[in-house]
Structure 1
Amino acid sequence: MTERTAVLEPSRPARRAAGAGGLLPGLLRTARPRQWVKNLLVAAAPAAAGQLGSRHTALQLALVFVLFTAAAAAVYLVNDAVDAEADRAHPVKCRRPVAAGEVPLPVAYGTGATLATGSVAGAAVLCNTLTAALLTAYLVMQLAYCVRLKHILVVDLAVVTTGFLLRAMIGGIALAIPLSRWFLITTGFGALFMVSAKRYSEAVQMAGRGGATRALLTEYTTGYLRFVWQLAAGVAVLGYCLWALESGGTANGSLLPWRQLSMIAFILAVLRYAVFADRGTAGAPEDVVLRDRPLAVIGLVWLAMYGMAVADL
């Protein structure tokens, strides 16, 4: 075995250990089930419009969630196949099924292509043409990110942020719900806040390691990434507050000005998440959101207030 082959391929013991897990479990792990919670954003637009009550809406959103999850899984499979060599240099990512040899590269590429094609075809047949076009745009953009765009400063942040924004838009597009400017501004900059906080945390944790697995981190400074997430957080809060203050007071006989009151919970949620961003421990946003109890409580309070505001209770 040549030196180059030894670098590009996991060792035989590693392949035997990885193979013990099986191909199908490896594919499932590569599809990142823990990341699927992000795809709940497909319900954001219908929720903002107060249109979650009907059975038709629930079924349509469930379908969109499945289609977007398939598309996202396709991107993860291709991404891990492209990054397999770099992931083997990472103390944690080397355990990913593709990097460890549990999922062969051709299988990862083939399964990714099948899921991508199936999700777009399913959107065209079961939803509408615009939904299929939006899902296609997501796939093209994310695959371009895997191959090239993630190596370009600032563009990488914009692409990942746009991926979150498309998640939030697609539910509204599938149900023909108009998307307000405040919804797009708040969602877009809220996503940029989380994405840049994640990059900042990665930069802090990888300091001094030479950026072996994400070379672009060596080109960003922690000061710049801190500036980005602070700016994004401020714009997201401003956009939300402008939406909340737009009505001017209670609407249609509501008992309390829920829209205005929801600003408090929204700002507290941003401030709470910023604690983890400032510490450099927001590298896994789903862990922060799901495991921090105070943030979960604040989120539930905000959700209740937001729901009452949308329903004019």
Structure 2
Amino acid sequence: MSRSQSTNVEGKVYSSSPVPVLLFRQLRPKQWTKNLLVFAALIFSFPNVNTEMLIRSLVAFFLFSFVSGCVYILNDFVDREADRQHPKKRHRPMASGALNPYVALVFGAILLVCSLALAAYLEPRFGLVLFVYFIMNVGYSFQLKHVVIVDVMIIALGFVFRALGGGLVIEVPVTPWFFICTLLLALFLAISKRRHELILLENNMGSHRKVLDKYSKDLLNQLNSIVTTATIMSYGLFTFTSGRTQYLMATIPLVIYGIFRYLYLIHMEDKGGSPEEVLLKDKHILFTVILYALSVIIILKYFS
């Protein structure tokens, strides 16, 4: 089958899908794993977790997912003509012509207003965090992603907002060291993503982000070394100063292994371009994350 025939077949698959299915795809549910960080405050609240806190955290997770999906809709609406020239992005609902872009835009606007309203009703401060998160991501999509260093900082701050929002919605304060750990770990993931994109560019295998012209592999490796060291040290300090129990220090080896495993994947297997895919596809990372969450819950329940 020729390339054009393959493209046509994919186009028919999209065209035959109902509009609600296309709108759901436009929200990019595969990216929603990033919003699991909303549950971090809930996990560290054990054993003082109740049904209401669980429900509020679940609602916060979906609200973050919907709002980030609205950013994707706006971004794809503006870039739909350029995306049609991209080997992968041309198959997105709007770029492929399967979804009316104005229908998607109206849907996104309604979803955004409803999500922000529900967030404000749930907890006004959480609503404010979600609104700032949306504005920040719009700024990133249209301008800030082209500014060196600022681009990875914005990505990292997005994770911090998720963690902060998860704490606010269940009225659990986020400690300074937890804030720093989240920021550093998110920077590690963002820098690794840029490194992966730079390698693809060098091998002529990927799209060209303008900001990559201002990075080098040596610079990104050095930044990652700094951030990796700082992440492990700050997490160690967090376990001793969390105010819960020093037995949390037993989870430090899991954090170190998880980071080392991710470094192995980005350096030896050229992965890291999509953290959510690494989480779901690499059994070692997935097992480590699950074991870490269970360890924290058990320690807080029985040793605090």
Same fold (TM over 0.5): yes
Selected match of 2:129 from 105, 126, 134: 134
Q: How does 1:234-253 map to 2 (within 5 A)?
A: 234-246=229-241, 251=245
Hey, what's the Cα distance between the residues in 2 that align with 1:82 and 1:312?
A: 52
Hey, what's the Cα distance between the residues in 1 that align with 2:149 and 2:271?
A: 21
Comparing 28-37 with 104-113, which one deviates more in the overlay? 104-113
CA contact (8 A) 1:211 1:218 kept: no
CA contact (8 A) 1:233 1:270 kept: yes
Selected match of 1:123 from 115, 119, 123: 119
SS at match of 2:202: coil
Q: Please name the residue that 2:4 is paired with.
A: none
Q: How does 1:3-152 map to 2 (within 5 A)?
A: 18-50=14-46, 53-125=49-121, 127-152=122-147
Code of the residue aligned with 1:185 in structure 2: it is I
User: In structure 2, do the counterparts of structure 1 residues 241 and 18 end up closer, same or farther at CA, with 3 Å as the change threshold?
Assistant: same
- Would you say 1:172 and 2:186 are equivalent positions? no
Comparing 184-193 with 296-305, which one deviates more in the overlay? 296-305
CA RMSD of aligned residues (A): 2.5
Q: Please name the residue that 1:262 is paired with.
A: 251
How far is the alpha carbon of 1:70 from its aligned partner? Answer: 1.2
Q: How does 1:189-204 map to 2 (within 5 A)?
A: 189-204=184-199
User: In structure 2, do the counterparts of structure 1 residues 116 and 262 end up closer, same or farther at CA, with 3 Å as the change threshold?
Assistant: same
Hey, what's the Cα distance between the residues in 1 that align with 2:233 and 2:163?
A: 19
How far is the alpha carbon of 1:151 from its aligned partner? Answer: 1.5
How far is the alpha carbon of 1:22 from its aligned partner? Answer: 3.9
Q: Please name the residue that 1:299 is paired with.
A: 289
CA contact (8 A) 2:38 2:61 kept: yes
CA contact (8 A) 2:47 2:297 kept: no
How far is the alpha carbon of 1:312 from its aligned partner? Answer: 4.6
SS at match of 1:206: helix
CA contact (8 A) 2:42 2:49 kept: no
Selected match of 2:180 from 185, 199, 215: 185
TM-score (norm 2): 0.88
Hey, what's the Cα distance between the residues in 2 that align with 1:53 and 1:268?
A: 28
Q: Please name the residue that 1:274 is paired with.
A: 263
Code of the residue aligned with 1:88 in structure 2: it is R
Aligned residue pair count = 296
The gaps in structure 1 that reach 5 residues or longer are: 1-10, 252-256
CA contact (8 A) 1:182 1:240 kept: yes
Q: 1:28-76 CA deviation, whole Å, 9 max, x = no partner?
A: 1121111112212111112223266301111111111121111111111
TM-score (norm 1): 0.86
CA contact (8 A) 2:32 2:65 kept: yes
Q: 1:174-211 CA deviation, whole Å, 9 max, x = no partner?
A: 12211101110111111111111111111111225497
Hey, what's the Cα distance between the residues in 1 that align with 2:248 and 2:291?
A: 12
CA contact (8 A) 1:258 1:308 kept: no
CA contact (8 A) 1:89 1:212 kept: no
The gaps in structure 2 that reach 5 residues or longer are: 1-6
How far is the alpha carbon of 1:229 from its aligned partner? Answer: 2.6
Code of the residue aligned with 1:259 in structure 2: it is L
